[in-house]
Amino acid sequence: MADAAAPRTGLLRSNRRILLGSLSVLAFFVAWQAVFLFVPLNSLFLTKPSLMFAALVRLTMSGQVFFDLGASAAPFAYGLAASVLIGVPTGILMGRRVRVGLALDPLFTVLYASPLVALAPLVVIFLGVGVTGKTFIVFLLTVFDFVFNAYAGVRAVDPLLLNVVRSFGGAEKDLYLKVIFPSVMPYIVAGARIGVGRALIGILIGEFFAASEGVGYEIVRFGNFFALDSMFAYILVVTLIAIVLTQGVRWAERAAFPWRVES
Amino acid sequence: MFAQGVVGLMSAYIRGRNVNLTFRPPNRAPVRALHDFDVEVKEGEFLSIVGPSGCGKSTFLSILLGLIKPDSGELDLHGRRIDGPGTDRAMVFQEFGLLPWRTVQHNVELGLQLKGMPAAQRRNVAQHFIRMVGLVGFESHYPHELSGGMKQRVGIARALATDPEVLLMDEPFAALDAQTRDLMQVELLRIWHDTRKTVLFVTHQIDEAIYLSDRVLVMTKRPGRAKRIFAVDLPRPRDYEMRVTPQFNELKLEIWRALEDEIAV
């Protein structure tokens, strides 16, 4: 009997992260649902999980969720791509050229710390409610994640490795290709992990202020209609996407850098 | 008074004359690292340089490697002026200097790749040297998966792969534990015997210097200059028992006496 029980315990033990984690999520939804057994539900102000999931199924079946996700995905991707393309070279330049670093570091630190989302209404005025405006907001919110991570990455480059490449006759180009880019890479991916979360916020903010489609737009629109079940369905969708994206980056990180020491 | 036996013994292969270097760090007092440093090395010779910490011995290797330019002085290798890095020299670094994102195989290939050798040929050459340093089976390991001794084997293979005339070794075994160090010394002598490179070996350890070398150069404290050169008359191939012979210990004592005055605690 004890022999049969032992491996079961082992299985439970090895999966306890997932089990306990899921349990608390489940408990949260159950508690949320249960509250309304005792409290009358005023659907103008609140919703409950059963209604939320029903709305989610409805919106998924009609395809509306996918339409809005598509509308939000484009500026999300463009904004992040622009951040990588501009932020990474800027950060590397700051790290490699001391004077550029000293000149830009304070300015960028202030900008990074400031609530750039507050500029969203201005951005909408200048760039409109379309893809361009949303892209720019995402860019504003994420570019410094890449700048500062690339900057930190370059400063962490081991000078010995640069000397190794130089000693074998490597030129400036080789320093970048053989040492600087590979050692900055993990920092950029770490920047992406933070950036993905901030980009999602950027998209939502952009679509809250002015948009005609997209996930953030629907959240506000359903809110204005007091259709809280649909509004929460969209919030759930955003949450799920945030989890998938950040976990995806984590997974990609482990897959792409097998040389990193496991800590 | 002038360092005896430093200059003009033999057909010089590497020749350094009056090499001077002063470091000028910003906002700090300049540091004179080398002062009229002279050295001559024969082709195929194994020469060790010992000296107190900070005497400029590692700096001299960096100058020979071409990474640092001296303020003045002459440096020739085989009659050619040393002016920047070149494929005729390769360094084995104290802290290994392996690229952590490259496997053993690709680390060994680094110098060949920078020389522009085609991939297929690179693989073969690297394989040869991986076998020489005893790392067959570890080709696809990353540096963090290797022990210190294995890392330095990769460092040696990488340096040898480009087929340099001169191997510069900057305290290559200092980061290893005592037993690994002894083993690596034996291995190095075997490899040196097989490849017949000229070796300049910087170390703190007198034992190591005697055991490996044809001659041992003792440097003064900073600003470093050549103080004395000792010929090691132990026969080759060397074996471990030689380290406990009276001859070995007498030489060790003599070198220690030359070094003693230079060491400030």
In this model, does residue A149 exceed pLDDT 70? yes
Q: Which of A168, A174, A184 to mutate to test the interface with B (most CBs of B within 10 A)?
A: A168
pLDDT in tens, A200-239: 999 998 888 877 889 999 999 999 999 999 999 999 999 9
B14-23 and B31-41 as β-strands: parallel, antiparallel, unpaired? antiparallel
pLDDT in tens, B199-227: 999 999 999 999 999 999 999 998 899 99
Which residues does A50 contact at the CB level (< 8 Å), separation at least 6? Answer: A33
In this model, does residue B19 exceed pLDDT 50? yes
Mean pLDDT over the full length of chain A = 90
pLDDT band for position A9 (cuts 50, 70, 90): low
Closest partner residue to A167 among B91, B100, B142, by Cβ? Answer: B91
Which residues does A185 contact at the CB level (< 8 Å), separation at least 6? Answer: A153, A256, A257, B101
Q: How much is the average pLDDT of B12-32?
A: 90
Which residues in chain B are closer than 8 Å to A177, comparing Cβ atoms? none
Of A44, A34, A39, the residue nearest A229 (C-alpha)? A44
Q: How much is the average pLDDT of A139-161?
A: 96
pLDDT (0 to 100) of residue A181: 95
pLDDT in tens, B135-178: 999 999 999 999 999 999 999 999 999 999 999 999 999 999 99
User: Does the beta carbon of B162 lie under 8 angstroms from any beta carbon of chain A?
Assistant: yes
Q: How much is the average pLDDT of A250-261?
A: 84
Q: Report CB contact under 8 Å: A261, B144.
A: yes
In this model, does residue A262 exceed pLDDT 60? no
Q: Report CB contact under 8 Å: B101, A261.
A: no
DSSP state of B2: P
Kindly report whether the peptide bond that precedes residue B118 is cis, defined as omega within 30 degrees of 0. Answer: no
Which residues in chain B are closer than 8 Å to A173, comparing Cβ atoms? none
pLDDT in tens, A10-26: 777 778 888 998 999 99
B198-203 and B46-50 as β-strands: parallel, antiparallel, unpaired? parallel
In this model, does residue B2 exceed pLDDT 70? no
B80-81 and B72-77 as β-strands: parallel, antiparallel, unpaired? antiparallel
Q: Are B198 and B214 in contact (CB under 8 A)?
A: no
3-class DSSP state for residue B28?
A: coil
If you count them, how many residues does chain B have? 265
Q: Which residue has the higher pLDDT, A3 or B86?
A: B86
pLDDT band for position B40 (cuts 50, 70, 90): very high
3-class DSSP state for residue B191?
A: helix
A-facing residues of B in 79-98 (CB < 8 A) are 85-87, 89-91, 93, 95, 97
pLDDT band for position B1 (cuts 50, 70, 90): very low
Which token pair is B119? 């991939």
Q: Report CB contact under 8 Å: B114, A183.
A: no
B140 → chain A, closest CA residue: A259
CA-based nearest distance B86→chain A, Å: 6
Q: Which residue has the higher pLDDT, A182 or A212?
A: A182
3-state secondary structure chain A: CHHHHHHHHHHHHHCHHHHHHHHHHHHHHHHHHHHHHHCCCCCCCCCCHHHHHHHHHHHHHCCHHHHHHHHHHHHHHHHHHHHHHHHHHHHHHHHHCHHHHHHHHHHHHHHHHCCHHHHHHHHHHHHCCCHHHHHHHHHHHHHHHHHHHHHHHHHCCCHHHHHHHHHCCCCHHHHHHHHHHHHHHHHHHHHHHHHHHHHHHHHHHHHHHCCCCCHHHHHHHHHHCCCHHHHHHHHHHHHHHHHHHHHHHHHHHHHHCCCCCCC
Q: How much is the average pLDDT of A22-31?
A: 94
Q: Report CB contact under 8 Å: B66, A179.
A: no
In this model, does residue A263 exceed pLDDT 60? no
**Out of A40-49, B201-210, B240-249, least confident range:** A40-49
A175 → chain B, closest CA residue: B114
Q: How much of chain B exceeds pLDDT 70, in percent?
A: 95
Q: Report CB contact under 8 Å: B90, A258.
A: no
CA-based nearest distance A244→chain B, Å: 27
**Out of A119-128, B96-105, B166-175, least confident range:** A119-128
User: Does the beta carbon of A258 lie under 8 angstroms from any beta carbon of chain B?
Assistant: yes
User: Does the beta carbon of A164 lie under 8 angstroms from any beta carbon of chain B?
Assistant: yes
pLDDT band for position A120 (cuts 50, 70, 90): confident
pLDDT (0 to 100) of residue A51: 93
Q: How much of chain A exceeds pLDDT 90, in percent?
A: 70
In this model, does residue A2 exceed pLDDT 80? no
pLDDT in tens, A64-108: 999 999 999 999 999 999 999 999 999 999 999 999 999 999 999
Which residues in chain A are closer than 8 Å to B91, comparing Cβ atoms? 164, 167
Q: Report CB contact under 8 Å: A168, B67.
A: no
User: Does the beta carbon of A257 lie under 8 angstroms from any beta carbon of chain B?
Assistant: yes
Closest partner residue to A168 among B100, B111, B142, by Cβ? Answer: B111
User: Does the beta carbon of B69 lie under 8 angstroms from any beta carbon of chain A?
Assistant: no
